[in-house]
C-alpha cells in the first residue's frame, strides 16, 4: 500500500472541515442537553438548533420553519416520496421521476407501485439530461409528484431544474416538485422559491459536514405526511431527539462552503477540464461527464479493464475512487445511469467515478494520471477475453 493518500471519492462522502469536527466535538461535550428539555442545558441546545436553522435557511433564502432535519439524503428522499404519496392519495396516484435517480428515490417509487401508484420514468439523452417535452407530455391532472435530481451522482449531469419547475407549475399547479439536491447543494446556488421547488433533499456529509444528518426543505403550506412517529419533535413532522451536534456542524459546513462557493467552483472546473483533457489522451479511455456538468464529478470508462480491478489497483497506489455510486457498490449491479445514457455494454463494468472537493489539488490529479498511465497496460494484458 502506498504511503500517499489521494481521496477522489467525494461524491460518496467528504472529509469534514476541521472546524466542523471541532464544533461537533465541543457541542457533544458541552451542549449535550436535549433541546426539548426545559432546563438550561436544554435551552442551550435549543439555541444551537435555532442558530443552525437560521444559517441553513439563509443559504436557501427561505424561512427557518421550512427546514426539517433528517438523518441524511436517504431519509429526506424517502420522506418526500412517501410523504407526498400518502398525504395526497385522494388527489391522485401518478408520480413522475427519472431513470437516473438515486436508489433512495427509485426504491420508494417501486414500493409505491406495489401499493397501486403509477410511476412514469423519464429517459435521458447521451449526456444524462431529461427531455422537457417528454416531461410535459407525462404531466396529468392526477400527477401528484415530480421528483428530479439536481446533479446526477455518477456522471454529474445537471438537470434543467428551473425550466422543469416552471413547466410543472404551468401544467399542474397542484403537483409537488421534489428535487434531490444531495450532490448539488453547496456546489451551486439553489433558491427553491425561484425554481418552483416544493421539496428538496440535502445531506451534510457531501459538503464536509458530519455523517448521519441532513434536511428536507418543505415549502410553506406544502402538505406531506410524516414517516417517523413518536415524541412529536419538529412539530410532529419527524419525531426523535434532534441531533444538535450534527445539525450545528452541518450549518457550519454549509456556511463555509457557500462563503467560498465561487472560487471553489471555478477551481474545480479548471481541474476537471485538465483531468478530462488528459484522460482522453490515454489509449482506450473515454469520459462520460460533460464540461457543462457538475464541477466535481468525472466519470470515465477504461476499455478492457474491470472497474473493480482498476479501483483496487489505484487503491494500492493510495488513490481512492468509486465504481459508480458508493451506495450500491457493495453488491453486483448494473448502473441505471450508465444504462440510461446508452453506454456501450462492454464499458458498463469498466467505469470509474472520480469526484473532487475543495481539498483536491493539481498535484493529486497529476499523480492519479501518472498511475493510470502506468497501470492500464499491465491490467489489460491480464484481462480475460
Residues labelled as active-site residues = 327
3-state secondary structure the chain: CCCCCEECECCCCCCCCHHHHHHHHHHHHHCCCCCCCCCHHHHHHHHHHHHHHHHHHHHHCCCHHHEEEECCHHHHHHHHHHHHHHHCCCCCCEEEEECCCCHHHHHHHHHHHHCCCEEEEECCCCCCCCCHHHHHHHCCCCEEEEECCCECCCCCCECCHHHHHHHHHHHCCCCEEEEECCCCECCECCCHHHHCCCEEEEEHHHCCCCCCCEEEEECCCCCCCCCCCCCCCHHHCCCCCCCHHHHHHHHHHHHHHHHCHHHHHHHHHHHHHHHHHHHCCCCCEEECCCCCCCCCEEEEEECCCCHHHHHHHHHHCCEECECCCHHHCCCCCCCHHHHHCCCCHHHCCCEEEEECCCCCCHHHHHHHHHHHHHHHHHHHHCCCC
Contacts 24+ apart (CB under 8 A), 103-110: 103/325, 103/327, 103/328, 104/73, 104/74, 104/77, 104/78, 104/180, 104/327, 105/77, 105/81, 105/147, 105/149, 105/180, 106/336, 108/77, 108/78, 108/81, 108/82, 109/81, 109/147
The C-alpha cell that represents 339 in the structure block: 444504462
Burial tier of 130 (Cβ tally within 10 Å: 0-12, 13-18, 19+) = buried
Amino acid at each position: 500500500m502506498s504511503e500517499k493518500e489521494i481521496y477522489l471519492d467525494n461524491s460518496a462522502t467528504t472529509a469534514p472541515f476541521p472546524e466542523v469536527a471541532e464544533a461537533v466535538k465541543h457541542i457533544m461535550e458541552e451542549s449535550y442537553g436535549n433541546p426539548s428539555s426545559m432546563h438550561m442545558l436544554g435551552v442551550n441546545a435549543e439555541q444551537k438548533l435555532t442558530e443552525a436553522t437560521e444559517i441553513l435557511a439563509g443559504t436557501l433564502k427561505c424561512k427557518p420553519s421550512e427546514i426539517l432535519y433528517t438523518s441524511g439524503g436517504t431519509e429526506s428522499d424517502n420522506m418526500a416520496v412517501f410523504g407526498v404519496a400518502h398525504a395526497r392519495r385522494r388527489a391522485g396516484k401518478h408520480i413522475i421521476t427519472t431513470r437516473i435517480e438515486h436508489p433512495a428515490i427509485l426504491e420508494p417509487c417501486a414500493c409505491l407501485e406495489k401499493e397501486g401508484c403509477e410511476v412514469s420514468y423519464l429517459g435521458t439523452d447521451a449526456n444524462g439530461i431529461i427531455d422537457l417535452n417528454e416531461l410535459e407530455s407525462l404531466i396529468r391532472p392526477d400527477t401528484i409528484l415530480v421528483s428530479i435530481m439536481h446533479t446526477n451522482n455518477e456522471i454529474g449531469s445537471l438537470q434543467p431544474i428551473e425550466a422543469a419547475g416552471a413547466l410543472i407549475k404551468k401544467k399542474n399547479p397542484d403537483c409537488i416538485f421534489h428535487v434531490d439536491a444531495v450532490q448539488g447543494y453547496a456546489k451551486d446556488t439553489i433558491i427553491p422559491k425561484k425554481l418552483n421547488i416544493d421539496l428538496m433533499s440535502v445531506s451534510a456529509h457531501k459538503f464536509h459536514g458530519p455523517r448521519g444528518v441532513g434536511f428536507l426543505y418543505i415549502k410553506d403550506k406544502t402538505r406531506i405526511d410524516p414517516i417517523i412517529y413518536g415524541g412529536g419533535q419538529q412539530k410532529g413532522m419527524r419525531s426523535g431527539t434532534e441531533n444538535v451536534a450534527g445539525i450545528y456542524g452541518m450549518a457550519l459546513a454549509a456556511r463555509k462552503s457557500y462563503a467560498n462557493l465561487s472560487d471553489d467552483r471555478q477551481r474545480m472546473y479548471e481541474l476537471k477540464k485538465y483531468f478530462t483533457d488528459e484522460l482522453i489522451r490515454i489509449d482506450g479511455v473515454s469520459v462520460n461527464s460533460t464540461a457543462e456538468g457538475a464541477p466535481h464529478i468525472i466519470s470515465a470508462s477504461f476499455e478492457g479493464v474491470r472497474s473493480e480491478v482498476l479501483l483496487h489497483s489505484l487503491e494500492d497506489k493510495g488513490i481512492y475512487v468509486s465504481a459508480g455510486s458508493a451506495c450500491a457498490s457493495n453488491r453486483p449491479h448494473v448502473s441505471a445511469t450508465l444504462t440510461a445514457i446508452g453506454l456501450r455494454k462492454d464499458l458498463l463494468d469498466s467505469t470509474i467515478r472520480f469526484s473532487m472537493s475543495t481539498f483536491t489539488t493539481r498535484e493529486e490529479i497529476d499523480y492519479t494520471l501518472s498511475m493510470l498511465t502506468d497501470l492500464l497496460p499491465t491490467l489489460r494484458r491480464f484481462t480475460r477475453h
